[in-house]
Structure 1
Amino acid sequence: MLNNRILIIGLIWPEPEATAAGSRMLQLIHFFIKQGYEISFASAGTKSDLSFDFSDLSVSCFDIELNNSSFDVILKKLDPAMVVFDRFLTEEQYGWRVQQTCPDAIRILDTEDLHFLRKSREMALKKGTDNWIQFIQNDTTKREIASIFRSDISLIISQFEYKLLQEEFNIDASLLFYLPFLVDVPGNQHLAELPEFDQRQHFMTIGNFRHQPNLDAVKYLHSHIWPLIRKELPDANLEVYGPYAPEAIKQLHKPQNGFLIKGWIADKKEAFAHSRICLAPLRFGAGQKGKLLDAMLYGTPSITSTIGAEGMEVATKWNGFIEDQTEIFASKAIQLYQDKSLWINAQKTGYEILRRNYDKQTYEYQFNKKLKLLQKEIIRHRKSNFIGSLLSHHQHQSTKFMSKWIEAKNLLNDKIIK
């Protein structure tokens, strides 16, 4: 009987209504359900009020512990044909256990975005330079690249990152698969139901505040960009949405200045569809930006940075403007807010980008085809990845012994406490 079992190991329990990473994970789960897989989801993370409720889906859920051999028991019982690691951190923690207990299982790494790229850009920003490439070989890079080599296939969400991995780190294309956000491209009926230019007002931005690029962007908006916009548009507001806002962000709430910290919103469509412009001046980051994709889906033109738009559209068109200079960013936002014709054209461009780059059926077909080929040729595939086998041998041995040492230490501490 064909083994159709798949195990997904989550770094955290998905929060699709709060984070782009959560949306991405749910897209993958729906894909596997459609292909007829029997899905199990496991995580050592703590559930929150925003964690997705799997009860409506045919997904078995397991709480697991870090550095605990009880996971091996679960793994042996599940005997999955495929294991998906949610970001390289889970591959580091559980990869050796999967390889030891289920050596034939296909190991898939969902990178979400390249953490080392985000890290190098953050380092560059702190040093006051745009030359992030000089910081590219940091510790996170070495760990994440090693994880990509150890995996049978890594899902890359951005064409920019796909190219970077091949050109900068000589990773063979056979180890990578480009898989952007999987979107049901809106039809004419959906678009017709959205509020029009005259029915919308104000600016908005949104993002999970546990994600450092979002935190930085809102602070930058408050201190540099919004004062310039507000000076020209004194009746406009900027509404800031997103969960987990720290006190430093909450203190930026100033109704008299039109800067409104709204917090988490259950229906993000409401935030987008009633706003005229989305602002996203991201100064560092990686991957594709969920907020900018949502802006296109809900017909909300956006102003973002080069980093914000990166990986979203290979051509030069955007559903608004791409601008890195503070003063020009603000002036473009003012112009787009006031010019109805320009706004309508920007909205149409967003729909074009969605249709050209994010059609779910196209990428699901390609991904399914890739997985079937990988299952068929896994032995040859692994033999051609000598660096991966080398890294697995050395890295997993060290991780394995460290994990077992921690587990033994924890057991000893439990006995002492008792």
Structure 2
Amino acid sequence: MASKKLLIIGFVWPEPKSSAAGSRMMQLIEAFKAGSYEITFASACVQTKQAFDLDSIGVSPIRITLNDSSFDLFVKTLNPDVVLFDRFMTEEQFGWRVAEQCPKALRILDTEDLHALRKGRQQALKDNYEFDRAYLFNNTAKREIASIYRSDLSLIISEIEMNLLKTEFKIDPDLLCYLPFMLETIKGAWINALPKFNERQDFISIGNFLHDPNYDAILFLKESIWPLIRKELPQAEMHVYGAYLSQKVKQLHNEKERFLIKGFTNDANHVMQRARVCLAPLRFGAGLKGKLIDAMQNGTPSVMTSIAAEGMFGKLKANGFIEDNSSMLAAKAIQLYTDEILWNEKQQFGFETINKRFSNVKYRHKVLQDVNKAIREIDIRRQHNFIGQLLQYQTLQSTKFMSKWIEEKNKN
């Protein structure tokens, strides 16, 4: 029996060393490879030096062009069984072309996180108001929910977001598939080899600086949290790592205050294992936080906000403390940094979370099962999703002619 073909249309090329989104994409690729899919990865984005070498794992990389009918011939010739859109913006740009050229292909949306939730929280923080439905039902939500309806199946990374889509937006659960990070089990040999409490020092924070929540968190950390920690622990240092270091981030570097902007690291595991405590004071955001996964995998307890912890622990205990005001975040960070017994206890909670909530074996099997079921039932699914049909019809017309107008304009 011939392998099924999967086309992934990436918003960007995967950069697993730069962002959680990059790691997530590589996990999806590995899951479909385990299901014997023949994979092509296409993107209109320019590749950076951090981009993963897809050829090295047997995935065909293809450069495509926005608002260009060359994509139509490409996708029709490839004739994929499944097309996966990386974020709703990609589905907006290419979904109508896929529907027109390959109507039998199953269309999957990987939301990465709910952009509408992140944008709404960001605006509420800016306005200094409590986040509510008025902030959630924003213009991004209208685009994102439309994209979910136009797709045959949407992959949702957080249980919180699954619940939000079903209760607030009334999305049919059959259109959604809960798929968190898919991670290898942490074994005893790995745990025993990790540096112990007394072999570690300093605090760490890590995250892609192009991501607005990360930049805001570093500002909050420097201005409101770190001065309180430094007062009690004057010898400790704050090490801040992340890809795409901008000038405004570099300006936060202050050796006198021991607040050190380190920039991109090629090995997140190494720097995380050297640190004693990870700080994640995110004030807005969505999805699951890769920095907390890095911390738990490397035995580094964390102090985090409720936004950072959202969807991560379920009914299990956190690998540290969850607080939302600067004084409590600082107090818990100091406590965790100085109490070895407490530190060891929180470290074990992190290992337990990874092993019980993010099994790659369990969720690889689940996503392949759900996708194959959706392929078999594609006609019935589409009949039941009338809103999706309606949006597909309307979008096909409006987006199609706008794109064709842009294409003609680009020729002149």
Give the alignment's TM-score, normalised by structure 1. Answer: 0.97
Distance 1:97 1:3 in 2: 23
Distance 1:302 1:247 in 2: 27
Distance 2:131 2:47 in 1: 38
* Aligned equivalent of 1:222: 222
Distance 1:157 1:27 in 2: 12
Is the deviation greater in 176-185 or in 245-254? 245-254
User: What SS does the corresponding residue of 1:285 show, helix, strand or coil?
Assistant: coil
* Aligned equivalent of 1:178: 178
Q: Is the 8 A contact 2:237 2:259 kept in 1?
A: yes
Distance 2:84 2:126 in 1: 34
Kindly provide the CA deviation profile for residues 218-258 of structure 1, in whole angstroms up to 9, marking residues without a partner as x.
Answer: 01101000000000000000000001121111011111111
* Aligned equivalent of 1:367: 367
Q: Is the 8 A contact 1:84 1:108 kept in 2?
A: yes
Equivalent positions of 1:97-176 (< 5 A) are 97-176=97-176
The count of residues paired between Structure 1 and Structure 2 equals 412
Aligned-residue offset at 1:292 = 0.3
Equivalent positions of 1:59-70 (< 5 A) are 59-70=59-70
Distance 1:232 1:91 in 2: 50
Is the deviation greater in 389-398 or in 129-138? 129-138
* Aligned equivalent of 2:334: 334
Aligned-residue offset at 1:396 = 2.1
Aligned-residue offset at 1:45 = 0.3
Aligned-residue offset at 1:387 = 0.4
Distance 1:406 1:339 in 2: 61
Aligned amino acid, residue 256 of structure 1: K
Kindly provide the CA deviation profile for residues 182-228 of structure 1, in whole angstroms up to 9, marking residues without a partner as x.
Answer: 00011000111100000000000000000000000001101000000
* Aligned equivalent of 1:324: 324
Give the alignment's TM-score, normalised by structure 2. Answer: 0.99
User: What SS does the corresponding residue of 1:6 show, helix, strand or coil?
Assistant: strand
* Aligned equivalent of 1:13: 13
Distance 2:87 2:231 in 1: 43
* Aligned equivalent of 1:390: 390
Q: Is the 8 A contact 2:55 2:61 kept in 1?
A: no
Q: Is the 8 A contact 2:3 2:36 kept in 1?
A: no
Distance 2:371 2:237 in 1: 47
User: What SS does the corresponding residue of 1:155 show, helix, strand or coil?
Assistant: strand
User: What SS does the corresponding residue of 1:321 show, helix, strand or coil?
Assistant: strand
Equivalent positions of 1:11-410 (< 5 A) are 11-315=11-315, 317-410=317-410
Aligned amino acid, residue 187 of structure 1: K
Distance 1:396 1:233 in 2: 60
Q: Is the 8 A contact 1:206 1:242 kept in 2?
A: yes
Please list every run of 5 or more consecutive structure 2 residues that lacks an aligned counterpart in the other structure.
none
Aligned-residue offset at 1:132 = 3.8
Please list every run of 5 or more consecutive structure 1 residues that lacks an aligned counterpart in the other structure.
413-418
Distance 1:102 1:303 in 2: 48
Aligned amino acid, residue 356 of structure 2: R
Distance 2:355 2:316 in 1: 16
User: What SS does the corresponding residue of 1:9 show, helix, strand or coil?
Assistant: strand
User: What SS does the corresponding residue of 2:253 show, helix, strand or coil?
Assistant: coil
Aligned-residue offset at 1:269 = 0.6
Distance 1:392 1:291 in 2: 37
Q: Is the 8 A contact 2:21 2:112 kept in 1?
A: yes
Kindly provide the CA deviation profile for residues 235-293 of structure 1, in whole angstroms up to 9, marking residues without a partner as x.
Answer: 00000000112111101111111100000000001110010000000000000000001
Q: Is the 8 A contact 1:158 1:288 kept in 2?
A: yes
User: What SS does the corresponding residue of 2:396 show, helix, strand or coil?
Assistant: helix
Aligned amino acid, residue 333 of structure 1: A
Distance 1:3 1:334 in 2: 54
Aligned-residue offset at 1:361 = 0.4
Q: Over aligned residues, Cα RMSD in angstroms?
A: 0.9
Q: Is the 8 A contact 1:3 1:81 kept in 2?
A: no
Aligned amino acid, residue 55 of structure 1: D
Q: Is the 8 A contact 1:84 1:107 kept in 2?
A: yes
Distance 1:21 1:369 in 2: 23
Distance 2:316 2:133 in 1: 23
Aligned amino acid, residue 191 of structure 1: I
Distance 1:304 1:101 in 2: 46
User: What SS does the corresponding residue of 1:13 show, helix, strand or coil?
Assistant: coil
Distance 1:184 1:9 in 2: 26
Q: Is the 8 A contact 1:123 1:132 kept in 2?
A: no
Aligned amino acid, residue 170 of structure 2: N
Aligned amino acid, residue 34 of structure 1: A
Aligned amino acid, residue 405 of structure 2: W
User: What SS does the corresponding residue of 1:254 show, helix, strand or coil?
Assistant: coil
Aligned amino acid, residue 88 of structure 2: F
Extract structure 1 runs of 4+ deviating beyond 3 A: none
User: What SS does the corresponding residue of 2:65 show, helix, strand or coil?
Assistant: coil
* Aligned equivalent of 1:4: 4
Q: Is the 8 A contact 2:203 2:277 kept in 1?
A: yes
Distance 1:111 1:260 in 2: 33
Aligned-residue offset at 1:316 = 5.8
Distance 1:354 1:34 in 2: 21
Kindly provide the CA deviation profile for residues 316-374 of structure 1, in whole angstroms up to 9, marking residues without a partner as x.
Answer: 62000000011011000000000000000000011111111001101111111111211
Kindly provide the CA deviation profile for residues 2-24 of structure 1, in whole angstroms up to 9, marking residues without a partner as x.
Answer: 46111000001111100000000
Kindly provide the CA deviation profile for residues 365-414 of structure 1, in whole angstroms up to 9, marking residues without a partner as x.
Answer: 111111121111111111000000000000221001000000011012xx
Kindly provide the CA deviation profile for residues 8-62 of structure 1, in whole angstroms up to 9, marking residues without a partner as x.
Answer: 0000111110000000001111111111111000000011111111121111111
Q: Is the 8 A contact 1:3 1:80 kept in 2?
A: no
Q: Is the 8 A contact 2:116 2:136 kept in 1?
A: yes
